[in-house]
Amino acid sequence: MGGSSDSDSHDGYLTSQYNSSNSLFSLHTGNSYSSASLDRATLDCQDSVFFDNHKSSLLSTEVPRFISNDPLHLPITLNYKRDNADPTYTNGKVNKFMIVLIGLPATGKSTISSHLIQCLKNNPLTNSLRCKVFNAGKIRRQISCATISKPLLLSNTSSEDLFNPKNNDKKETYARITLQKLFHEINNDECDVGIFDATNSTIERRRFIFEEVCSFNTDELSSFNLVPIILQVSCFNRSFIKYNIHNKSFNEDYLDKPYELAIKDFAKRLKHYYSQFTPFSLDEFNQIHRYISQHEEIDTSLFFFNVINAGVVEPHSLNQSHYPSTCGKQIRDTIMVIENFINHYSQMFGFEYIEAVKLFFESFGNSSEETLTTLDSVVNDKFFDDLQSLIESNGFA
């Protein structure tokens, strides 16, 4: 595997990153990731039993398929049937769902969203729900392309760099437009599940989102009630991240850019995000729950799910579900389907992805010399160490 960085080249292919010394975030001391349950998730990264149970599947050339070759046919155990005559209301309003994604760039948020939609579409309990993704990057491109006729204006000056934290205002504007579009389509009954696809990487952004959800739900003119579901997507594995960055260099932002420029620009973007990212925590979940309960004056549903390293690390009690006593069947059904998706993500989609990563690095030597050299020259151990330092200086070692 000529030219590959150390992180990928020794015996730890797709496994070495599971030990703490090599992890991108070690997770255990941060303020936000300080809960016992997250510690448990962290321990699982290092836990020898967990490791042994997964090592063979991570290393084998066959994709382990515990259930079936068809990712959409899971043994989902649903105990009751949909009752069409029993639509669910909250506070006299028809329920809709909003999935708020959280996660650093290139962790798989958009990909996992499309997998979730497939899953909802294939389950009789949820197949009538109209799902739509509202992607802040797409909205940004639509607006900025119309203005400057370019996929993405790359710049070396910090004042022009959209992802430099100095320019957060610009990025916030795109996010707010995206959020308003989601509310608008929900309110017009154009969709039932709105997925807000952005990194939502700061506490301030998340506070804004939930203030807006409360305003929406307390708006007497609206006939709908939004049930918020937080889905945090994390990726700590260096090989996964490297593979994802390679793929990101072909996305719409970089259609007109040479590979090297794209990789360098995305790497720079990642550094900006690592310098300001705050993972979502149980504390924040509880704060948001209190805030919504106070403002909506009813006991309200709120859910928090995690996909870590394509589902191979189990989030354990980091996932949270708050069902009020009055919670109706439609919400319970939908959450059950989502929970099944989360719990089986690795079998449904994760291992197939890991296999693709593995193949990518195995055949890496066959890639063009330029691609190889470029990726390794930018996304290497030093780069990951820099990311680690950035996240540590941000208080989340």
Ligand X SMILES: O=P(O)(O)OC[C@H]1O[C@](O)(CO)[C@@H](O)[C@@H]1O
Ligand Y SMILES: Nc1ncnc2c1ncn2[C@@H]1O[C@H](COP(=O)(O)OP(=O)(O)OP(=O)(O)O)[C@@H](O)[C@H]1O
Q: Which residues in this chain contact ligand X in the complex, by CB under 6 A? A: 105, 136-137, 140, 171, 175, 198-201
The single residue of 44, 161, 192, 197 carrying the catalytic annotation is 197
Judge residue 297's burial from the number of C-beta atoms within 10 Å of its C-beta, 0-12 exposed, 13-18 middle, 19 or more buried.
exposed
Catalytic pick from 45, 131, 235, 327? 235
- Asked if 235 is an active-site residue, the reply is yes
385 has catalytic annotation: no
* Nearest partner of 150 among 160, 141, 158, 159, judged by Cα: 141
Going from the C-alpha of 386 to that of each of 27, 284, 389, the distances in angstroms are 16, 27, 5
Nearest one of 268, 390, 374, 388 to 5, comparing CA atoms: 374
Residue 349 binding result from ligand X, ligand Y, none, given CB thresholds of 5 to 8 Å by partner type = ligand Y
| Angle made by CA atoms 199, 272, 139, in degrees to the nearest 5 | 40
CA torsion sign for 121, 125, 129, 134 is: negative
Shortest reach from residue 1's CB to ligand X, in Å: 27
Q: Which is nearer to ligand Y, 216 or 364 (CB)?
A: 364
d(CA 316, CA 306): 9
Structure-derived torsion over alpha carbons of residues 350, 356, 357, 359, reported in degrees to the nearest 10: 150
- Tell me the site size for ligand Y, rule CB under 6 A: 17
* Mutual angle of helices 259-274 and 381-393, in 10-degree steps: 30
Binding to ligand Y by residue 105, rule CB under 6 A?
yes
Instruction: Restricting to residues 113-172, name those near ligand Y by CB under 6 A.
Output: 137
Residue among 30, 108, 279, 315 that touches ligand Y (CB under 6 A)? 108
Please say which residue, 216 or 353, places its beta carbon nearer to ligand Y: 353
Which is nearer to ligand X, 171 or 264 (by Cβ)?
A: 171
Q: Which does 310 bind (CB under 5 to 8 A by kind): ligand Y, ligand X, none?
A: ligand Y
109 touching ligand Y, by CB under 6 A: yes
Measured CA to CA, the distance from residue 13 to residue 238 in angstroms comes to: 10
CB of 307 to ligand Y, least distance (A): 8
Distance from C-alpha of 97 to C-alpha of 100, rounded to nearest angstrom? 10
Determine if 315 is a binding residue for ligand Y (CB under 6 A). no
Minimum CB separation of residue 138 from ligand X in Å reads: 8
Q: How far is the CB of 136 from ligand X (least distance, A)?
A: 4
Q: Which residues are catalytic?
A: 197, 235
- Which residues make up the interface to ligand Y (CB under 6 A)? 103, 105-112, 137, 199, 244, 247-248, 310, 349, 353
